[in-house]
Structure formats: C-alpha cells, structure tokens
Amino acid sequence: AIGSGTDAAYSVALQPDGKIVVVGRCFNSSYTNFCVARYLASGALDVSFNSTGTVITPIGSRNDYATSVALQPDGKIVVAGYCYNATNNVFCIARYLANGALDTSFDGNGKFITPTGALIEIANSLAVQPDGKIVVAGACKDPRNYYDFCLARYLANGGLDTSFNSTGKVITTIGARDDFAASLAFQPDGKIVVAGYCESGSNQYSCLARYEGGPFGAQNCSLDIDGDGRVTATTDMLIATRIALGINTSAAINDINFPVNATRKTWPQIRDYLVSQCGMSLQP
C-alpha cells in the first residue's frame, strides 16, 4: 500500500535500466491523489526515488486519478490523468525528475490542469513527441451529454501548445453517442493516431481518428551522431562501434575529441538523439 486507503494502478513504463515505473491513484487522508512508484528490476521499491520509492501528489482540489505514464529520454517521468477542479473533472498532468521530485521547469511547479471547455474530461493516454511536446488523449462530455474524443498538446516547459488546433486542444465527435479515446501513437511524419471505442445505437465499435501533429522530425536518424554535418571514423563511427559492443553509458564517448561545430558533445545530448531519433534503448 502507498496511500492511507485504497490504491489502484493504471499504467506502467519500463526504464532503459530495467527499473519499473507504475502510476495510479492513492487515497491520501480525504481524497485520492496522483501516486507514482518505482521498482528495481528485482521487484523491490527503488529508494533512490523520493527516498521511499513512492510519491503522492495532490493536483486538483479533490480527487485526482493518474491514468497514463511516459518516460522522456532525459529520465523525467510524465504522468497524465484527470483531476477535480472545484467544478468537474478535467485533464491534468505532472512531470517528475528522475529522483521523484516535481520538475519545477514544467509550468513552474511541475503540474498543469487543463480545462478543455467540456462538461467532464477523462484522460486515458499520454505520449511524448521526439521534440518534447506532450500529447494527452481521452474523453470529454459534450453539450449532448455524450463523450467525444478529445486531445490536448502541451509544450515541453508546460502550458498548452497553441500551434495545435490554435488552442492546444481538440474535441472530435466520432459515433452517434459516446466516444472514448483509449490510446495514441505517433507516425514518423508527426501525425497523431488515436484509437478507442465508439457507440452507435446499442452497439460499440472500435474506432480510429488521425490528427495533423507535426512535423517534428521523428526518427530523423543518421550516422552523424555528433551533429557536425559529417560522418567520421574517429567520432561518429567510434561511438557507434562502442555502443554496438555493449558500451551504452557515458563511457561510449570517453577520449573523443568533438569538432567545434558539433551540436551534440555530451552523453545526455547523444543519448537523447539516439533514443528519440534512432529508437535505441540506452542508459541515462
């Protein structure tokens, strides 16, 4: 148990180092809050995470539910769900540092509540684009009293991304009655694919919607690992060879002299590029 009452887990993510991050809701005194737990590969709680392996975070004014989690290449943990904002449930999001503390570079306090204008909002899925923007999908109740697909996109530093549908959010009616967006994924060209289930008459059907979301340079991978516009044996190919041999830590760039015009000279920069653009799984 993490909270003082009933706990429930809703989503899990696996870090490159084998640690397991689980999110959900935990009862904390009077209300449920976001809760995050991180486990070692052995199954024990990781006490390097908030000193206990767990963290409970109140977001809204009453009950909060964390329903989805995603990991950034820099090790930060992004959690989305829905929170009560004194009127109804709305989208909400929080970002944590690798040590379990809230990331204050995200909207100043590590959390953000997003009313989309719907009567009730339930966030079900979260994904992080290669450029750091965060997309959340779920269901929002419309004036007909039915649920529709709804999405919100956030900037990497917090706040809604107004380049997305001019408001940072979009609500889409799919079927004749309730529509619930349950999962999302990105295409290499930046388009956002959302899947869920929709009601038409007395039946439910699988349904899909695709949104313009890019481009964001997804999977823009090349052998120019240091970003200097060239591929050389003493930098790019040496790094690639070391990684291929199993050296997937900062030791992969030991004793390498990077060109002055290289845009990626540190292991975090190179790791982020290889993870986000080349689809590799590397340690922080």
Asked whether residue 119 carries a pLDDT value surpassing 70, the answer given is no
Distance CA 62, CA 84 (A): 5
The pLDDT tens digits for 126-160 are 999 877 899 999 999 888 888 999 999 999 888 89
The pLDDT tens digits for 175-189 are 888 999 999 998 877
Q: What was the pLDDT predicted at 55?
A: 94
- Contact by Cβ (8 Å): 143, 97: no
Q: What mean pLDDT value characterizes the chain?
A: 88
Asked whether residue 218 carries a pLDDT value surpassing 60, the answer given is no
Q: For 123-147, what is the HEC assignment?
A: EEEEEECCCCCEEEEEEEECCCCCE
The per-residue DSSP string of 252-278 comes to: GGTT----TT-S--SHHHHHHHHHHHH
Least confident range from 34-48, 71-85, 216-230: namely 216-230
Only one residue has tokens 């823009």, namely 220
Selected residue with higher pLDDT from 216 and 279: 279
Q: What was the pLDDT predicted at 3?
A: 56
Q: What was the pLDDT predicted at 258?
A: 95
Count of beta carbons in the 10 Å neighbourhood of residue 156: 18
